[in-house]
Amino acid sequence: MNVISFLDKWHIKKILASDIQFMMEIDSPLYNIASRSNRYWIDNTLIVNYKKKKEIQRFPNGEIILNNHKHKICYSFKKIYEIEE
């Protein structure tokens, strides 16, 4: 009945926290990982790689895609626009 009970929840929380920290602080010079990551541009898209474990792509339309290659997790963030009626 309870499918998720076998998951190691503290480990999942640690991975999610690490991925969110990577996404939020990658532009900060004080963030240790930022100085060890590779940055490059492809067609107005900023791509930041960290040791082939994590990759973040920032597109011109504001969309952000974060790939955690080590754990095979992909996050996609898009702007939500207000619809005026």
Q: Hey, is 3 helix, strand or coil?
A: helix
Per-residue pLDDT at 64: 95
Q: Both ends of the chain: CA-CA distance in Å?
A: 44
Per-residue pLDDT at 76: 96
Longest C-alpha distance within the chain, in Å?
Answer: 48
User: Which amino acid, one-letter code, is at 51?
Assistant: K
Tens digit of each residue's pLDDT, the chain (85 residues): 555 665 667 888 899 999 999 999 998 888 888 888 999 999 999 999 999 999 999 999 989 999 999 999 999 999 888 777 6
DSSP 8-state secondary structure symbol assigned to residue 83: P
Per-residue pLDDT at 3: 53
Per-residue pLDDT at 27: 87
